[in-house]
Amino acid sequence: MTNQETLPVAAIQQACSPDKTESLTISERLIRQAAGDGARLIVLQELHATHYFCQSEDVAVFDLAEPIPGPTTDRLGELARELGVVIVGSVFERRMAGVYHNTAVVLDSDGQLAGRYRKMHIPDDPGFYEKFYFTPGDAGTRDMPSGFSPIDTAVGRLGVLVCWDQWYPEAARLMALAGADILIYPTAIGWDRTDDGDEQTRQLDAWVTVQRGHAIANNLPVIAPNRVGHEPAPETGTPGIDFWGNSFICGPQGEMLARADDRQQTVLHASLDRHHSESIRRIWPYFRDRRIDAYDDLLKRVRD
């Protein structure tokens, strides 16, 4: 991170439109609001340019994909340069015919594309048919790093992951080991209306708790913006998804700095102490005490 004592950040919790132009216009308005209130790092949610189209499998949806650089990164880059902020956005990326990614993009404060992260863990569950649309990100090599590599920006090294990645402690740890200053999880997650209230509560609590756990285990702040509002399923007879919002920002001990509700579109603000992670790691030295000589079985699918 830079030498300033604190970093003002914002997470945007947005209700999306099926129309890309309309959704991006909403995103731009909320980015301007966040920058006007002092944020220097502004994080948008997963796939913020349209409705969450993965509720069904439809080959026509591939027409929504675009290259990087492309129209969305150009627009976000111009905003970042004009406002002097770093923006984390989301693009349905067309890499080539037949290869598409769910990609987080980082636009630096000079408007340049600082980097991208292609979602590594791809779910395939009722209402979340992402394997139909997305190729997993590349793991990379020593000479050509990708996968779990932080992105250097004017406000620090960003450990950007996406949604389903948030359930995997390995992803957060690899970002931390590579020197990330902040863990960032753009998200699209919500409730099935057929689940009862107790089950919905358990799911939401698990989502918040696991990410706070990544903050604690890695001594890093976490920014987790989620979409909000009901989005109907394209197929009749299915209930659609109630995206549960609850976007939050927490510190490196899991302390909640800001949290949204499950109903309102909003811009969430917090100020991150740039020295807190260093201070915590001096008294809780998890990284010093890791037994890297004893973890070989983590590379197995199942330990026999």
pTM: 0.95
Catalytically active residues are 46, 119, 163
Please give the class, per CATH, of domain 6-299.
alpha beta
Quick check: helix, strand or coil at residue 24?
helix
DSSP code of 49?
A: T
DSSP 135: P
CA dihedral 46, 49, 55, 56 (to 10 degrees): -130
Query: Quick one: tokens of 13?
Result: 């919790």
Residue 47 Cα distances to 111, 121, 186, 250, 256, angstroms: 20, 15, 8, 22, 25
Could you give the CA distance from residue 25 to residue 166 in angstroms, rounded to a whole number? 28
Q: 208-241 burial string, b = 16+ CB within 10 Å, else e?
A: beebbebbbbbbbbbbbbbbbbebeeeeeebebb
pLDDT in tens, the chain (304 residues): 555 899 999 999 999 999 999 999 999 999 999 999 999 999 999 999 999 999 999 999 999 999 999 999 999 999 999 999 999 999 999 999 999 999 999 999 999 999 999 999 999 998 999 999 999 998 765 554 568 999 999 999 999 999 999 999 999 999 999 999 999 999 999 999 889 999 999 999 999 999 999 999 999 999 999 999 999 988 767 789 999 999 999 999 999 999 999 999 999 999 999 999 999 999 999 999 999 999 999 999 998 8
